[in-house]
Amino acid sequence: MNRLWHNARLMTLEGRDLGIVEDGAVACEGGIVTYVGPRAGAPNAAETIDCEGRWVSPGLIDCHTHLVYAGNRAREFELRLEGASYEEIARAGGGIVSTMKATRAASEDDLVAASLSRLDALIAEGVTTVEIKSGYGLSLEAERRQLRAARRLGEERNVAVTTTFLGAHALPPEFSDRDAYVAHICDVMLPTLAAEGLVDAVDAFCEGIGFSPDQVARVFEAARTLGLPVKLHAEQLSDLGGASLAARYSALSADHLEHLSEIGIAAMAASGTVAVLLPGAFYFTREEKRPPVAALRAHGVPMALATDCNPGTSPLTSPLLAMNMAATLFRLTVDECIAGFTREAARALGRGDIGTLVPGKTCDLAIWDIGEPAELVYRMGFNPLHARIWRGQ
């Protein structure tokens, strides 16, 4: 069935800014956009929807989440507020190991049930595509359960889920040697899970407390052999040259980047690697070093935004609040914030079929009850979503 949304103010995101069309219309057939432009030129349709002057944008894309996990770290948060150190929390069984234990103990059904409320919160703010990483299982079986739960979430709800294998997130307790674990990832976990169709991309945590650039390079080589795109948690706590490494492997994105150097920025610009900024983690961990937004802009590196939804450092399920944080904490412009959750987020996932309103793309829309685009970024704890259209429905 073909549909037409008219009497709308469009943010098409085509080009470099918001691509605004006043008194516009969007037509779709079979879930694909067939027309975007002034209402006057719109085709006839079997069903027409009057948007009553509301704003219409592409559906939002959350391109970096760790949405599937069991348990939570609220108690750890409380201990930290009471003054406990990172070491004391780790000794008390907190940190990533506590999420790993809870996730390993959960069945696939448990993981789906625990994650649905988080997914629903994203959907309620207009998200139509979400990336979900593994990385709390850290064994073949538990990583498989996490990725299968992520795929199931995409069947339970009208939302597109793209999966990322993050086996190189932390060292599991059964391994004492990081190189041996990396070999297990490259030789067993990744090829097995990829063969099962559970892996759309491969990620790693390049950090002193994570994995070294050499170890990450081995994971990236294994991904390249399997024809899978890569992305990287890079330069969050220190500068190990992760962004340059990611660029060498033509990574889709390098994420976090608070400690990114000028060399890393130039490498990302040359390879077309997207900078995914995660203001929720910056805020929650009370980080003080800001990502080098002005330099990224000067070099023309595309900037995406995401919630980084995870239990330890960013228990955030609001893309709209992430936009506000990106503006207040990182000084992104309104246009950059909105593009960060649409056009640039699509780029960070290597997806040419979503993220802008253009004929031929998937008809994912968010319809907003706002007077101007800046309201999406300006308000806090405010959800003006009027309707959300996924694949034309």
User: Is residue 184 annotated as involved in ligand binding?
Assistant: no
204 vs 323, which CB is nearer to Zn ion?
204
Residue 136 assigned as binding residue: yes
CB of 238 to Zn ion, least distance (A): 16
Tell whether residue 364 is among the known ligand binding residues. no
Nearer CB in complex with Zn ion: 28/219: 219
Half-sphere exposure of 277 (CA within 13 A, CB side): 35
Closest distance of CB 166 from Zn ion, Å: 8
383 appears as a binding residue in the annotation: no
Question: What count of other Cβ atoms lies within 10 Å of the Cβ of residue 391?
Answer: 16
Q: In the numeric block, which tokens belong to residue 37?
A: 């432009």
Q: Are strands 365-368 and 385-389 parallel, antiparallel or unpaired?
A: antiparallel
* Nearest distance in Å: CB 65, Zn ion: 8
Distance between CA atoms of 309 and 122, rounded to whole angstroms? 10
Q: Which is nearer to Zn ion, 163 or 362 (CB)?
A: 163
Of 367, 387, 384, 282, nearest to 327 by C-alpha is 282
Nearer Cβ to Zn ion (54/66)? 66
CA gap 356, 114 in Å, rounded? 31
Distance of alpha carbon 47 from alpha carbon 5, whole angstroms: 9
163 marked ligand binding residue: no
Instruction: Find the shortest distance in angstroms from Cβ 360 to Zn ion.
Output: 32
How far CA 87 is from CA of 77, 90, 186, 238, 271, in Å, comes to 14, 5, 30, 19, 39
Q: What is the distance, to the nearest Å, from the Cα of residue 104 to the centroid of all Cα atoms in its chain?
A: 23
CB of 308 to Zn ion, least distance (A): 5
- Token readout for 366 is 């968010």
User: Does the annotation list 187 as a binding residue?
Assistant: no
Distance of closest approach, residue 379 Cβ to Zn ion, in angstroms: 26
Q: Is the Cβ of residue 164 or residue 215 nearer to Zn ion in the bound state?
A: 164
Question: Is 53 annotated as a binding-site member?
Answer: no
Nearer to Zn ion, 287 or 308 (CB): 308
Query: Applying CB under 5 A, which residues contact Zn ion?
Result: 308
Cβ closer to Zn ion: 64 or 361? 64
| Minimal distance, residue 314 CB to Zn ion, in Å | 7
Give the residue at shortest CB distance from Zn ion: 308
**Is 233 known as a binding-site position?**
yes
Q: Minimum CB separation from Zn ion for residue 355, in Å?
A: 20
Nearer to Zn ion, 215 or 362 (CB): 215
Sequence ranges of the binding site: 64, 66, 73, 136, 169, 233, 236, 308, 310, 312-313
Sequence ranges of the binding site for 4-imidazolone-5-propanoate: 73, 136, 169, 236, 313
Sequence ranges of the binding site for N-formimidoyl-L-glutamate: 136, 310, 312
Sequence ranges of the binding site for Zn(2+): 64, 66, 233, 308
